[in-house]
Amino acid sequence: MDQAAGPARTVILTVDDDPGVSRAVARDLRRHYGGSYRVVRAESGESALAALRELKLRGGTVAVIVADYRMPKMNGIEFLEQALDIYPGARRVLLTAYADTDAAIDAINVVDLDHYLLKPWEPPEEKLYPVLDDLLRAWRATDHRPVAVTKVVGHRWSARSSAVREFLARNQVPYRWYSSDDPEGRRLLCAAGQEGLRLPLVITPDGTALIEPEDRELAARVGLATTPTTQFYDLVIIGGGPAGLGAAVYGASEGLRTVLVERSATGGQAGQSSRIENYLGFPDGVSGAQLTDRARRQAAKFGAEILTAREVSGLEINGASRVVRFSDGSAVAAHSVILATGVSYRQLDAPHVTELTGCGVFYGSALTEAAACQGHDVYIVGGANSAGQAAIYLARSAKSVTILVRESLSMSHYLVQQVEETATIAVRTHTVVDAAHGSRQLEQITLRDTATGHTELVDAQWMFVFIGAAPLTDWLEGTVLRDSRGFILTGPDLTADGRPPADWELDRPPYHLETNVPGVFVAGDARAESAKRVASAVGEGAMAVMLVHRYLEQS
**Measured between alpha carbons, how far is residue 154 from residues 176, 178, 218, 501 in Å?**
11, 7, 15, 53
Alpha-carbon gap, residue 428 to 432, rounded angstroms: 9
Confidence (pLDDT) at 99: 60
Distance of alpha carbon 450 from alpha carbon 430, whole angstroms: 5
Residue range 88-101: mean pLDDT, rounded: 80
Q: Is 452 exposed, middle or buried (0-12, 13-18, 19+ CB in 10 A)?
A: exposed
Q: In this predicted structure, what is the pLDDT of residue 434?
A: 97
Cis link prior to 88 (omega < 30° from 0)?
Answer: no
The CATH homologous superfamily to which domain 2-140 belongs is Response regulator (3.40.50.2300)
Average pLDDT over residues 27-54: 92
Neighbours of 531 (CB within 10 A): 13
- pTM value is 0.73
Q: In sequence order, what are the residues at sequence separation of 6 or more whose Cβ sits closer than 8 angstroms to the Cβ of residue 88?
A: 146, 147
Rounded to an integer, the average pLDDT of 519-546 is: 95
Q: What is the pLDDT of residue 366?
A: 64
How distant is the alpha carbon of residue 331 from its chain centre?
26
Question: Cα–Cα distance between 15 and 21 in angstroms, integer?
Answer: 9
| Cα–Cα distance, 527 to 525 (Å, whole number) | 5
3-state secondary structure of 271: helix
337: helix, strand or coil: strand
- Do residues 27 and 62 make contact, with C-beta atoms less than 8 angstroms apart? no
In 16-125, DSSP assigns E strands to 38-42, 62-68, 91-96, 115-118
Give 60 or 336, the one with higher predicted confidence: 336
pLDDT at residue 146 in the model: 43
How does residue 4 score in pLDDT terms, banded at 50, 70 and 90?
Answer: very low
In this prediction, residue 485 carries a pLDDT of: 93
Identify the pLDDT of residue 157.
Answer: 85
Read off the pLDDT of residues 349-389 as tens digits, 9 standing for 90 and up.
Answer: 999 999 999 999 998 866 677 778 889 999 999 999 989 99
For helices 385-394 and 413-421, angle between their N-to-C axes, nearest 10 degrees: 30
Identify the pLDDT of residue 275: 79
Q: Per-residue pLDDT tens for 223-271?
A: 999 999 999 999 999 999 999 999 999 999 999 999 999 999 999 888 7
Domain boundaries, the chain: 2-140, 150-214, 232-344+470-554, 361-467
Return the CATH architecture of domain 232-344+470-554. 3-Layer(bba) Sandwich (3.50)
Q: Which residues contact 374 (CB under 8 A, 6 or more apart)?
A: 397, 398
Q: Is 424 exposed, middle or buried (0-12, 13-18, 19+ CB in 10 A)?
A: middle
What's phi and psi for 342, nearest 5 deg? 65, -155
Among the listed residues 96, 95, 84, the one whose alpha carbon sits nearest the alpha carbon of residue 49: 84
Fold of 361-467: FAD/NAD(P)-binding domain (3.50.50)
C-alpha 154: how far from its chain's center? Answer: 22
Q: In the Cβ-directed half-sphere of 58, how many Cα atoms lie within 13 Å?
A: 13
The proportion of the chain whose per-residue pLDDT surpasses 90, expressed as a percent, equals 59
Rounded-to-integer distance, Cα 378 and Cα 401, Å = 5
> What is the Cα–Cα distance from 81 to 67, expressed in whole angstroms?
11
Between CA 102 and CA 371 the distance in angstroms is 10
Contacts of 247 (CB under 8 A, 6+ apart): 235, 237, 258, 260, 338, 340, 523, 541, 542, 544, 545
Domain covering 150-214: architecture: 3-Layer(aba) Sandwich (3.40)
Selected residue with higher pLDDT from 189 and 236: 236
Q: What's the pLDDT at 144?
A: 60
Q: What is the mean pLDDT of the chain?
A: 89
Report the C-alpha gap between 480 and 499 in whole angstroms.
17
147 vs 328, which has greater pLDDT? 328
Burial 375-394 (b: 16+ CB within 10 A, else e): ebbbbbbbbbbbbbbbbbbb
Of 14-18, 196-200, 433-437, 459-463, the poorest mean pLDDT is in 196-200
Same-fold call for 2-140 versus 150-214 = no
Give the pLDDT band (50/70/90) at residue 189.
confident
Instruction: Indicate if the pLDDT at residue 141 is higher than 90.
Output: no
444-468 pLDDT tens trace:
999 999 999 999 999 999 999 999 8
Angle CA(130)–CA(134)–CA(246) in degrees, nearest 5?
A: 70
Sign of CA dihedral 43, 49, 54, 58: positive
pLDDT in the model for residue 195: 65
Query: In terms of C-beta density within 10 A (0-12 exposed, 13-18 middle, 19 or more buried), how is residue 209 classed?
Result: middle
pLDDT at 117: 82
